[in-house]
Amino acid sequence: MAEDVFKKIVSHCKEYGFVFPSSDIYDGLGAVYDYGQNGVELKNNIKQYWWQSMVLLHDNIVGLDSAVFMHPTIWKASGHVDAFNDPLIDNRDSKKRYRADVLIEDQLAKYDEKIQKEVAKARKRFGASFDEAMFVQTNPRVLENAKKRDALHTRFKTALDANDLAEIRQIILDEGIVCPISGTRNWTDVRQFNLMFKTEVGSTADGASTIYLRPETAQGIFVNYLNVQKTGRMKVPFGIAQIGKAFRNEIVARQFIFRMREFEQMEMQYFVRPGSELEWFTKWKEQRMAWHQALGFGSENYRFHDHDKLAHYANAATDIEFRMPFGFKEVEGIHSRTDFDLSQHEKFSGKSIKYFDPETNESYTPYVIETSIGVDRMFLSVMCHAYTEETLEGGDTRTVLRLPAALAPTKLAILPLVRKDGLPEKAREIQQQLKFHFNCKYEEKDTIGKRYRRQDAIGTPYCITVDHDTLADNTVTLRDRDTMEQQRVPVEQLQSLLEDKVSITALLKKLA
Ligand code: ATP
């Protein structure tokens, strides 16, 4: 059922110009996608919402745009050359490759699902008198599944911490995890696989040196932190925000734009005094959750997931997960990265990277809180939440994208009722006035009903219809995408009426 919905979302994205497989006429390229005419607008709006929430709303956060190519030693210093690995495992029968850690995480989620099913069944049976807390503490089936889950969790965490690949394989065997394609347990050994793409700079093979496509944008911020701090006269605490492409040779790439080999990140590194990092970590957790929730998708669709295995650089880490059709999944990571990255760059470059704090008269290496969100994953979560199939009064159906108006690709469709009597000219005249303020689209082909449906399908929050009365009294019909209600509005009021509803400023004000 949920899978069906997801398939529909993927085909909707293609059919309505949001997302196309890359190199489509050559049958695509694995885990690489292109954004079409509507997709690029939605994506730009997401980026703008993030950028403005960081750089406009905070005096002490500034932007940066660093290059994809960087000195190769940066990736040695950051630990990516040695440790940016995923454990992979193959099924010998289906020849399919999986991330061993993800297979086990899915198994953990299955125990949780079983518990949730028991709870749901009991809630139905007991109705209003149901005491969930009591139920989960006493029901034998819930207790049994919780016990299995906790035991697996402990074993998994121990294996990860020890980097024990044989034990990870053994867990997969002991849990009876099968390949979803072949249905067998014929697994290979687990191997580590480095996710960085390599290429060469320099024209001759001899003189060329290997460099990497950046797997995260963060390192560009770290190596520029002093440039920005000095030239911008920034005082700790301060942040640097960046949006840019990142590249990872992902082992498994089967979930549309959830896991891509070329994707975009929005990262902000916040430089703080050593010792204050956990306080800032908590503040950023709250701020980032508020950013997500301001979109109005419902707080029940988000949760924090604290990391079991901290990355080599972190002393606290959490993910913000969103309920996708295929379960709660990470959209954003918030990490307390200590002074690891800056200290490593100091060591590897041999240059001092310390900050002189004029308030304490001390020099130190700042600690860093990172917020890191994938533009594409955010896009997917917005799409998944917005996609709705509705049955209307009278039995008609419609597919509508209930996008937050501020993110919608087109804000306003301008539709002449008929293609004659001067209505197209009048509609064009209105478009000429409004196009400086909103992304407006003019459409005259097909019946008005069909045109409304097309706009619903791309999430346009408002349509205006220009009819014969418009010529007489300069009013239009304004139709709301979600309620489908229509009201008569003077043309000269359109701009002020809509501005508050469709602008990113309206979203930002919720955060301030
Ligand atoms: P995962 O565990 O799903 O591989 P990660 O923990 O490695 O993700 P981070 O390194 O924390 O991810 O990257 C920060 C953000 O970048 C993620 O929350 C996600 O939104 C995005 N991201 C990471 N890898 C990809 C990818 N392959 N495709 C799309 N977005 C990605």
Model pLDDT for residues 1-16, shown as the tens digit of each residue: 677 899 999 999 999 9
Secondary-structure percent of the chain, ordered helix, strand, coil, rounded to 5 = 45, 25, 30
Check: CB of residue 417 under 8 Å from CB of residue 465: yes
| pLDDT average, residue stretch 16-32 | 96
Q: Which of 169, 209, 172 is nearest to 75 (CA)?
A: 209
Please name the residue whose Cα sits nearest to atom 29 of ligand 1.
Answer: 259
The pLDDT of 401-417, averaged and rounded, is 98
Q: What is the pLDDT of residue 30?
A: 92
pLDDT of residue 393: 87
Closest C-alpha to ligand 1, atom 5: 333
- The mean pLDDT value for 394-415 works out to 96
Which residue minimizes the CA distance to atom 31 of ligand 1? 374
**pLDDT band at 251, cuts 50/70/90?**
confident
Q: What percent of the chain has pLDDT over 90?
A: 90
Is the dihedral angle over the CA atoms 341, 347, 353, 359 positive or is it negative?
positive
At residue 208, the pLDDT reads: 66
Hey, whose CA ends up nearest to atom 21 of ligand 1?
374
5 Cβ partners below 8 Å, 6+ apart? 325, 387
Question: Dihedrals φ, ψ of 355, to 5°?
Answer: -105, 135
pLDDT digits (tens, 9 = 90+) for 128-142: 888 989 999 999 999
Is the pLDDT reported for residue 448 higher than 80? Answer: yes
Mean pLDDT of 358-367: 96
**Atom from ligand 1 closest to the CA of residue 332:** 18
- pLDDT tens-digit map of 86-131: 999 999 999 999 999 999 999 999 999 999 999 999 999 988 888 9
CA–centroid distance, 480 to ligand 1, in Å, is 36
Cα–Cα distance for residue pair 458/19, rounded to 1 Å? 12
Contact 179, 89 (CB under 8 A): no
Residue 207 is predicted with a pLDDT of 64
What's the confidence (pLDDT) of residue 202?
81
| Å from CA of 216 to ligand 1 middle | 9
Pocket test of ligand 1: the residue of 265, 285, 324, 370 to mutate, having most ligand atoms within 8 Å of its CB, is: 265
Could you tell me the distance, in angstroms and rounded to a whole number, from the CA of residue 223 to the centre of ligand 1? 21
Q: Which two tokens stand for residue 407?
A: 């993110």
Q: To test the ligand 1 pocket, which listed residue (47, 219, 377) has its Cβ within 8 A of the most ligand atoms?
A: 377
Nearest-CA residue for atom 19 of ligand 1: 374
User: Is the pLDDT confidence value at 420 over 90?
Assistant: yes
Q: What is the pLDDT of residues 261-316, one digit of tens each?
A: 999 999 999 999 999 999 999 999 999 999 999 999 999 999 999 987 787 788 99
What is d(CA 341, CA 348) in angstroms, rounded to the nearest whole number? 11
CA–centroid distance, 496 to ligand 1, in Å, is 40
Residue nearest to atom 23 of ligand 1 (CA): 374
Question: Which residue's CA is minimally distant from atom 22 of ligand 1?
Answer: 374
Atom of ligand 1 nearest to the CA of 319: 18
Res 106: pLDDT: 93
Q: Which atom of ligand 1 approaches the CA of 330 most closely?
A: 18
What does DSSP assign to residue 62?
E
CA-nearest residue, atom 7 of ligand 1: 333
Residues 186-211: tens digit of each pLDDT: 999 999 999 999 999 887 666 668 89
* Best mutation site among 195, 368, 372, 382 for ligand 1 pocket (most ligand atoms within 8 Å of CB): 372
> How large a percentage of the chain has pLDDT more than 70?
99
Looking at the CA of residue 377, tell me the nearest atom of ligand 1. Answer: 20
Among protein residues, the one whose CA lies closest to atom 12 of ligand 1: 333
Contacts of 434-439 with CB under 8 Å at 24 or more apart are 434/494, 434/495, 437/495, 437/499, 438/411, 438/412, 438/498, 438/499, 438/502, 439/41, 439/409, 439/410, 439/411, 439/412
Residue 234: its pLDDT value, please?
97
Q: What would the mean pLDDT of 402-411 be, rounded to a whole number?
A: 98
Ligand 1 centre from 374 Cα, in Å?
6
pLDDT at 24: 95
Cα–Cα distance, 409 to 397 (Å, whole number): 23
Q: pLDDT at position 161, please?
A: 85
423: CA distance to ligand 1 center in Å?
Answer: 50
Residues enclosing ligand 1, CB less than 6 A? Answer: 216, 248, 250, 259-260, 263, 265, 330-333, 372-374, 376-377
At 454-504, the pLDDT tens digits run 999 999 999 999 999 999 999 999 999 999 999 999 999 999 999 989 999
pLDDT of 230 reads 96
